Amino acid sequence: MPSPTDRIYGASVVWIYRSIKWTTEGLVPVERRNFLLGAAATLTAPATITGAIIEPAQAATVPLERQPVSLGVTGRDFPKVCGNLGNHNYSPLKQITARTLRRLGGAWHVNLEGGSTSSAQQSTCVVEHGVLYVQTTQQNVFAVDGKTGKIKWRMNLGDEKTNMRGVALGENLVFSTSGANIVYALSKDTGEVVWQRQLITDGEGGGDTGGCDPENGQCGGLTGTLAGAVVYWDGLIYVGMQGSTGGARGRAYALKASTGEIVWMFWSCPGEGQFGNDTWEGESWKTGGAVPWIHPAVDPDLGLVYWTFGGSYPRLDGSSRGGDNLFANSIVAIDAKTGERRWHFQSVHHDIWDLDNVMAPVLVDINVKGKLRKAVVYGSKVGMFYILDRRNGEPLHGMEERPVPQYAQQKTAATQPFPGGEPFTPQAPEFGKAIRPVPFYAWGGLYTPHWDRATIIFPGAGGGADWAHLSYNPHTGWVYIGYGLINSGFSNSRDGRVNTSRPLGEYFAGGIAAVDPRTNTPVWALDREWSLAHGNGILTTAGRVMFQGGPDGLLHAMDDTDGTILWSFQCGAGVHTSPISYEIDGEQYIAVLAGGNGLPYPDIPKGDHLWAFKLGGKVPPVP
C-alpha cells in the first residue's frame, strides 16, 4: 500500500529566487474605457507594458533540439487544438513577419450565432484541408470555408449551454462533446451524427453509461460535466470533465474513435484498493474533485498520455480530507492504450488555495546539462513551471520539498515542492508595481493557511498560470505563457462556499513571459493591463511574430524575442481562445474566435466573432 509520501522527485537542490528589477517602459497607457473604440488595425508602439527586464532579448545561443516528428508538425493545416500532440501551438508558416505586418488585415469575419452577445466563447478552432471546425457555447458545431468564411455546415448538439474548448479531427470524423455529457462523432463532410455516446449520467452514476468504472463498478460523487478539447490519436479519443466546485469525482476517458466504446477510464480520486486511496481521509475521495478539465498531451513514441488534474474538493477547506489527496493538483502519465498509471507528480499537496494546475502540458526534447531529455512542461497558479522527464517523472532541474506554515484545523501538508529555476511571476506584491500590498489585511505569502480571517495570497486565485495555452517556439527554444496577478483574500467565511475575493479597489493585472525550459528561468516577463491567464493562448510562428488576444478584444502580434507589440486589431469581444494559422492557395491566414469570457472579467462584451486575417485583408474591425 503506498504511503502519502509516494511522490516522484529527483535529487533535492536548493531553490534560489534571484531578484528581478521591475521597471516601467515609458509608453502611453491604454484606459479600459477605450475598449472597443479601435477603428482599425494598427501597427502598435503605444501600449501599457511594465515588467521584468532581465536581459536584452536574444534568440537562443545554442543549437536547438529537433522535436520528434511523431508529435505531429503543423503546416498548411492546424489540425488539433494547440497544433500537435505536444501542444506546441506553433506554425511553420512565415509569410507574416514583422516586415509584412503593416499589410495584415481582416480577410473575412462571420458572426457564428447571428450576432448573439449572450454567451462567452472559449473554443479554439482547428483547420484541415482549408476548412475550419469550431464549436460554440450554444452547442453548435460549424465547418467554415477558411478562404471565404462561408459556413459549409452547422450541427446543433442540444440546448444545454456550457463552455466548449475545441473539437478533434480523425478518421474523417469531427469529435465533440455536449452540455448533456454526450460525446459525438460527426461526418467531417456533412456534419451528420455518425455515433453518440452518453458518458456521465445524473445522480451518482451507475449502469454501463460511464458513470461507473465499467470493470469494477466504482461509483461515488456528483457527476460533473464533460469539458476540455477532445484529442484524437491512433484510433482513440481522449475526453475530460469538470465539476470540482460541486464535489464531482474526477475521471478521464479514452473512447474508441470508430464506435464510441469506452476503452478505459482513469479515476483521479482513487477508490478503495487503488494506488493513492490512502492519501484521502475516510471516504473523502468519493467527492474529492481533481477533475481534468483541459485536454492532455500525447507522446506516441512512449505510448503515454499526460493529463493534468485540478484541485481537491472542498477547494478551500481541508479539514475533512486529510492527506496529500492524490491525484489532485497532479500531472499523471497514463498508458494511452490501457489507462494504467505509469508515474505521477503532485505540484501542490493537500491544496487549500484553489491552486489547481490544470493546463495543457507541452512536450519538448531539450538539452539539460549536456544531455538530451524528453521533457513535459506545465505550470500552475503559483507562477512556476514544473519541468519533468516525461519518461519517468523525474524533475529535470531538481525539486526541493520546503517546510511551509502549518494549521491543524486545515490539516496542512508539512512541505510543498519548489522546482529548481525561477518563477515567471513575482511571488509577492510590491508598491509601485502592477499589484501592490494591501493595507489592513493579513498577508502570509505562498502556502500560508487560512481559516475565518481573510488572508492575502499572491499571485492569487486566477493568478499565475491558469488555462491559457502555452506555446513552444523552436526558433528561440522558449516556452511562452500568459499569466495573471491578483491579491486574493482567502477565507472559509461563507458557509462552505469558496471565498477568494479581491479586497475593494484591487486591480486584476497580468502579462506574458518567455521561459527557457533548459534552465527553467524566465528570459523576459512583461506585465500588462489585463490578466492573460484565462484562455488567452499564444501562437508562435516561423515568421518570428507571435499572436495573443486579450479581454479588451484586441488581437496583438508581437516580436517573439522580447514581446514588443507590433500590430493590434479590435475583434469586437474579449479573446479567450488561442489564435491559429493555416495556408490556402499560397496565402497565410491567422484565425481566432472572439466571444468574451465570464472569468476573470464578467462584464466584458460577449460575442460570436470568428475572424480570419491575411496580408492585404480589407475587412475592418467591428465598429
Which pLDDT score, from 0 to 100, does residue 325 have? 98
**CA 143 to CA 163: how far, in whole Å?**
19
pLDDT at 60 over 50: no
Q: Which residues contact 619 (CB under 8 A, 6 or more apart)?
A: 105, 106, 107, 108, 109
Three-state SS sequence of 4-20 = CCCCCCCCCCCCCCCCC
Which pLDDT score, from 0 to 100, does residue 595 have? 97
CA torsion, points 438, 440, 445, 446, in degrees to nearest 10?
A: -80
pLDDT at 349 over 80: yes
Note the pLDDT tens digit of each residue in 312-335. 999 899 999 999 999 999 999 999
Is 284 or 218 the better-scoring residue by pLDDT? 284
Work out the number of other CB atoms within 10 angstroms of the CB of residue 437. 14
CA torsion, points 603, 606, 612, 618, in degrees to nearest 10?
A: -80
Which pLDDT score, from 0 to 100, does residue 50 have? 32
Report, as an integer, the average pLDDT of 467-489.
94
pLDDT at 301 over 60: yes
The type of residue at 578 is: S
Q: In Å, what is the CA distance from 191 to each residue of 56, 123, 125, 179, 513?
A: 50, 18, 16, 18, 39
Report, as an integer, the average pLDDT of 397-407.
97
pTM of the model: 0.90
pLDDT at 33 over 80: no
**CA 298 to CA 553: how far, in whole Å?**
32
307: enclosing H helix or E strand: strand 304-308
Residue 53's pLDDT band (boundaries 50, 70, 90)? very low
48: enclosing H helix or E strand: none
Dihedrals phi, psi of 449, to nearest 5 degrees: -70, 160
The chain-wide mean pLDDT, for the chain, equals 87
Is 7 or 458 the better-scoring residue by pLDDT? 458
pLDDT at 130 over 80: yes
Distance between start and end Cα atoms, the chain: 63
What residue spans of 160-225 are helical by DSSP H? none
Give me Rg for the CA atoms of the chain.
23
β pairing state of 499-501 and 471-473? unpaired
**DSSP three-state, residue 380:** coil
Report, as an integer, the average pLDDT of 444-463.
86
Q: Which residues contact 251 (CB under 8 A, 6 or more apart)?
A: 241, 265, 266, 267, 268, 291, 292
Note the pLDDT tens digit of each residue in 153-202. 999 999 888 889 999 999 999 999 998 899 999 999 999 999 999 987 65
Dihedrals phi, psi of 245, to nearest 5 degrees: -70, -20
Work out the number of other CB atoms within 10 angstroms of the CB of residue 320. 13
The residue count of the chain comes to 623
Q: In Å, what is the CA distance from 198 to each residue of 140, 183, 184, 194, 261?
A: 18, 6, 9, 14, 10
Instruction: Respond yes or no on whether the N-terminal peptide bond of residue 270 is cis (omega within 30° of 0).
Output: no
**CA 123 to CA 291: how far, in whole Å?**
19
**CA 353 to CA 456: how far, in whole Å?**
11
**CA 238 to CA 335: how far, in whole Å?**
12
Report, as an integer, the average pLDDT of 400-413.
97
Residue 543's pLDDT band (boundaries 50, 70, 90)? very high
Residue 506's pLDDT band (boundaries 50, 70, 90)? confident
Percent of the chain with pLDDT strictly greater than 70: 84
Asked if CATH classification 2.140.10.10 holds for the domain at 22-89+124-615, the reply, yes or no, is: yes
Which pLDDT score, from 0 to 100, does residue 52 have? 35
Which pLDDT score, from 0 to 100, does residue 500 have? 62
**CA 528 to CA 469: how far, in whole Å?**
17
**DSSP three-state, residue 375:** strand
**CA 461 to CA 384: how far, in whole Å?**
14
Which pLDDT score, from 0 to 100, does residue 598 have? 86
* Extended beta strands in 411-494, E state: 415-419, 442-443, 455-457, 471-473, 478-485, 488-491
Is 459 or 424 the better-scoring residue by pLDDT? 424
The cell 516522484 sits on which residue? 8
pLDDT at 565 over 50: yes
pLDDT at 245 over 80: no
Note the pLDDT tens digit of each residue in 356-378. 888 999 999 999 999 999 999 99
Contact 516, 535 (CB under 8 A): no
Q: Which three cell numbers stand for residue 411?
A: 490539516
Which pLDDT score, from 0 to 100, does residue 487 have? 84
Which pLDDT score, from 0 to 100, does residue 42 have? 60
DSSP 605: P
Residue 622's pLDDT band (boundaries 50, 70, 90)? confident
